[in-house]
Structure 1
Amino acid sequence: MANGEGATLICVPIMADTVDQMVALIHKAKFSGADLVEVRLDHLKSFNPSVDIETVIKQSSLPTLFTYRPTWEGGQYAGDEDSRRDALRLAMKLGADYIDVELQVANEFYNSLQEDKPSKCKIIVSSHNYQFTPSIEDLGDLVARIQATGADIVKFATTAKDISDVARVFQITVHSHVRAVPIIALVMGERGLMSRVLCPKFGGYLTFGTLESGKVSAPGQPTIKELLDLYNFRMIGPDTKIYGIIGNPVGHSKSPLLYNEAFRTAGINGVYLRFLVDDVASFFQTYSSSDFAGFSCTIPHKEAAAMCCDEVDPTAKSIGAVNCVIRRQADGKLFGCNTDYVGAITAIEEGLQGLHSASSVTGSPLAGKLFVIIGAGGAGKALAYGAKEKGARVVIANRTYERAKELADAVGAQALSLADLEGFHPETGMILANTTSIGMHPKVDETPVSKEVLQYYSLVFDAVYTPKITRLLWEAEESGARIVTGVEMLIGQAYEQYERFTGLPAPKELFKRIMANS
């Protein structure tokens, strides 16, 4: 077991101005499902140690970890060391379950103990690196130095400059777990998220989950609700398979909502994460074990991901981009495919079904239509391929004309610059599809084309789904066009990905219900 007594613990940091506020937050943490709380004494505006510590311990409904973090280690305490040390010793004496002591002063702290420390209280000796994640050798040395102080529990937190940094921390965690060294090893920042979620898999003693989003004691902490309800934290174990979406940015992605709920419902031992990736090739090379079983790919990595795959299905090869990568369990090879075009084209076809002009002898309402695609990246390529396959006349518009021309030549289409699109309206009843990130949160006021242009289109699709109704879509609707949202594409492309991930039929109604309620 991760902590020597049970599964990996969830600790909620408690930060407040007063002790009364802290006690209220502790009760809230218990109600939220926490196993223990970290009482951050350095956040108190006024502090009477003998009264306040005893009050917290007596009124706490959860085991307590007391931290009195100085400014030189990222905290808020700027007073003298003697007073800080006295407060932590008092917490031990009054019945704290844990205290946190920084490595820099750990030896002095142990020397200051005038009597044997209470057997109940465990001392966590910690080190925080807010700049980077050291090498595996340096991390090993760090753990050894922390152990040498006499620590009951080793803790270190580093900062991820690249998501590959997390792999070194996983390696140290597993090594320490095998040696029965209780360890808390976390990576700060958005790129370090999986270090916090996957603690139960790799043997971490505890992880931190906040009560409210944004109110964190260290960068990158998820909420306890996200840990429990989104990532199914209590179900994660050594054999859990890891899936996720690779992108940059990726924090907006709703894919974890879909897959984790579907995994839980079907009893699949898997967890789906957001991976903020800068270099796709490095990511795949670093996380090459069979535990990392499948990936969704989004902007801007769809084309680069295709080049990293050992095998790409013929359709994705024609498109030149993949949005789904599977690691074959038999040989560890990466197989790439593209489900974007199926999800998007199907959603657009369904949107056209209700229009009177949607009849076609070929059976597809896209046949013969002038289909204008904004963007020449992975999603643009997918839509161009799919629309051409359905018999549409395709036009590619891109900020950089050369990229538009390259894609247009590949699929047999016409190329325009995005600026030229403002004056492009050879006919009415056209279809417009935005495949770029223009208009995505937080830049919700942006739109790829002016409202005046939209009167020439009978249907407008936007691959952006945060927000669900973008400026482009609401202006299109005001102009009389039918609109198709990125949510409909997301659900459509997710069906095939889920089936490829699991070998099971996609829970279509569940996916629709989740997105309708999100």
Structure 2
Amino acid sequence: MTTNAVKICVPVCVRRASEIPEAMKRATEVGDLIELRLDYIEQNERDAALSLLLEHLNRADDSIILTLRSPNQGGRSSIDAQARRSFWRSLADLPTNWFADLELDLVNEFARANETTALDWRQVICSHHDFNGVPADLEKVYARMSATPARIIKIAVQANDAMDCIPIFHLFERAQREEREMIAIAMGPAGIMTRLLGPSRGSFLTYGSLDDESATAPGQLIAREMREVYRIDRIDRETEIFGIIGKPVSHSLSPHIHNAAFEAAKFNAVYIPFEVGDANDFMRRMVQPRSREMDWNLRGLSVTAPHKLTVMERLDWIEPSAKEMRAVNTIVLRDDELHGYNTDAFGFISPLRGRFGSLKHARCAIIGAGGAARAALWALNSEGAQVTLFARDPALAEFFARQFSAECKSNADASFNGFDVVINATPLGACGERENETPVTTEKLRGVRLAYDLVYNPLETRFLREARAAGCETVSGLEMLIAQAVEQFKLWTGREPDAAVMRAAALRGLNE
């Protein structure tokens, strides 16, 4: 594995002792420590599981954390407090590179009783989990845990928004000042930043799963992804931080694209997804240099739905085209100012320029009236194309269409015969519940030269299949995604990225 201080702990969660050797073998390939979740193992198999582990240690130097989690702290068995006490009291001396993860209640109980157990406090992790959110008295919880004789304290709270991570970073700072070894994690998709940045802020370790199915907490990333996509082993205090804000963002390919580009350019940076509900509050508390509540090396952001308009209120300068589109998808921190740009329009038009050359007088139909449609309409209008906007409710889209001299029609019973380009700017066909839907079928696309789907996942949408059956040339949304990402990278770094590297990374992400 790597030689730096980052330690990824991979949980092993199996039901039977016989499954442990293979699971541990897989875990050691990607992790630095192994956590054996004894609460997952059937009760009558636990002794056999421990015997297998001792045999394993005769052949390897792996560090192992034993965990027998109580039900109210996220455990998977109905074990009661007395059984937990008995288990830990019954253990023989642990090997020096093993740890025992005990919940705060047991640690306090053993410490108050001044019990002489087989456990060495230097090998004890005192843990506390809150699956409801971030407790108001988190600092007091930390203080109670810090007062125990346990060597390491572990705090895990549920993050419902990226801003819930702020108290965790404050705990990192406090633990560093007090020279206390600590693991702190915000669980859930909104807490991913704590898992990736924690080790560089002093966290004793971070957790990564073998795969999605074996994750032991919400938002737990796959260990291999942490190393290969986010390059966690290279993140340090000097690493420049970029990311994407939206809700949801877990589906985004942007971390794959930008992290690969940073690596190819040998740029000390990481790109992280930030799940944000209130963009205005996020900008104030975490982004704006004059008001943010944590010290981190944030240098730029991508912005996706539903925040492209909201963030504009918090920017110091916005490029004119983004103002016209009323949408910012890229933020750059320059000194103490926030500058806003829109690279969607450039990303959208690039594949069309490559195929048409000039789009002047080209007949173009846009289906949809959201943010993606506005960027497409602005770009096509700038190229001199003749644009018709097709919307479910033309009355709502009429105002925006008039700004750019475009017609606005209902997409009910629309026919696109004679159009040069038809663009799907709706979410229909995107991966998920609506993947098998399309805004138009083959019959309505006959006579169209090119069909362009702004959806990029899946790569082959139903809209594109229908268009191909109608004899149309097709363009996937991946081309727009890469083209706009290239422009973002240039704005953030002043460098030209390797677009081929970005595309290859996106395709890997789609195939995972």
Both structures adopt the same fold (TM-score exceeding 0.5): yes
Q: How is 1:13-412 mapped onto 2 (pairs within 5 angstroms)?
A: 13-32=11-30, 34-47=31-44, 49-60=46-57, 61=60, 62-91=62-91, 93-95=93-95, 97-111=98-112, 114-115=115-116, 119=120, 121-135=122-136, 138-288=137-287, 289=289, 291-328=297-334, 330-331=335-336, 333-351=337-355, 353=356, 364=358, 366-412=359-405
CA shift for structure 1 position 158: 0.8
1:49, distance to aligned residue in structure 2 (A): 4.8
Q: 1:321 Cα deviation (Å)?
A: 0.8
Assess if the C-alpha contact under 8 Å between 1:447 and 1:471 holds in 2: yes
**Which residue of the other structure, out of 497, 502, 505, is the alignment partner of 2:493?**
502
The secondary structure found in structure 2 opposite 1:105 is helix
Post-superposition offset of 1:152: 1.2
Q: Aligned partners of 2:11, 2:248: CA distance in 1, in Å?
A: 27
Q: In structure 2, what is the Cα distance between the partners aligned to 1:403 and 1:105? A: 60
Change (3 A) 1:481 1:49: closer
> In structure 1, how many angstroms separate the alpha carbons of the residues matched to 2:71 and 2:372?
46
CA contact (8 A) 1:54 1:94 kept: no
Distance 1:156 1:250, change over 3 A: same
Q: Any conservation in 2 of the 1:57–1:94 contact (CA below 8 Å)?
A: no
Amino acid at match of 1:132: G
User: Which of 440, 448, 460 is 2:451 aligned to?
Assistant: 460
Please list the CA deviations of residues 134-172 of structure 1 after superposition, one character each: whole Å capped at 9, or x if unmatched: 23xx11101001112222111111111222111121111
- Counterpart of 1:358 in structure 2 is none
SS of the residue corresponding to residue 211 of structure 1 reads coil
| Long gaps (5+) in structure 2 | 290-295
What's the counterpart of residue 481 of structure 2? 490
Distance 1:299 1:439 in 2: 17
In 2: Cα distance, 1:187 partner to 1:517 partner: 27
Q: Give a deviation string over 1:322-372, Cα, whole Å, max 9, x none.
A: 1111111x22x2111111111111112323x4xxxxxxxxx51x2112211
The one-letter code sitting in structure 2 at the alignment partner of 1:337 is Y
Tell me: CA distance 1:446–1:480, structure 2 relative to 1, closer, same or farther (3 Å). same
Alpha-carbon separation, structure 2, partners of 1:286 and 1:275: 13
Q: Distance in 2 between matches of 1:251 and 1:123?
A: 34
TM-score by length of structure 1 reads 0.91
TM-score, normalized by length of structure 2?
0.92
Q: Which residue of 2 aligns with 1:359?
A: none
* Partner SS for 1:164: helix
Cα distance in 1 between the residues matched to 2:319 and 2:55: 63
Tell me how far apart the structure 1 counterparts of residues 47 and 476 of structure 2 sit (CA, whole Å).
59
Of all paired residues, the percent bearing the same amino acid is 33
Instruction: Report the CA distance between 1:391 and its aligned residue.
Output: 0.9
CA shift in 2, pair 1:179/1:283, >3 Å = same
Which residue number corresponds to residue 435 of structure 1? 425
Tell me which amino acid in the other structure corresponds to 1:403: L
**What letter is aligned with 1:376?**
A
Cα distance in 2 for residues equivalent to 1:208 and 1:11: 5
Per the TM alignment, residue 272 of structure 1 is displaced from its structure 2 partner at its CA by 0.5
1:250: Cα distance to partner?
Answer: 1.6
Structure 1 CA distance for aligned equivalents of residues 327 and 206 of structure 2: 36
Does the 8 Å contact 2:331/2:340 carry over to 1?
yes
Shift of 1:184: 0.9
8 Å contact 2:133–2:157 — kept in the other structure? yes
Comparing 457-466 with 275-284, greater Cα deviation is found at 275-284
Aligned AA (1:464): V
SS in 1 for 2:430: coil
Question: In angstroms, what is the RMSD of aligned CA positions?
Answer: 2.1
Q: Which moved more, 1:387-396 or 1:273-282?
A: 273-282
Secondary structure of 1:43's aligned partner: coil
Letter matched to residue 78 of structure 2: A
Q: Distance in 1 between matches of 2:135 and 2:179?
A: 23
Structure 1 CA distance, aligned partners of 2:120 and 2:70?
26
Deviation of 1:293 (Å): 1.1
- Rounded to whole Å, the distance in 2 between the matches of 1:73 and 1:118 is 21
For residues 399-441 of structure 1, the C-alpha deviation after alignment (integer angstroms, 9 at most, x for no partner) is 332331121021111112332xx3344x513311122222111
Q: Which amino acid aligns with 1:125?
A: C
Unaligned runs of 5+ in 1: 354-362
Q: Secondary structure at the match of 2:436?
A: coil
Match of 1:445, SS? coil
3-state DSSP of counterpart to 1:423: coil
Deviations 1:166-209 (A, max 9, x none): 11211112221222111111111111111111112322111100
Supply the AA of the counterpart residue of 1:29.
A
Would you say the 8 A contact 1:8–1:203 is kept in 2? no
Distance 1:52 1:239 in 2: 42
Shift in CA distance, 507/246, structure 1 to aligned 2, threshold 3 Å:
same
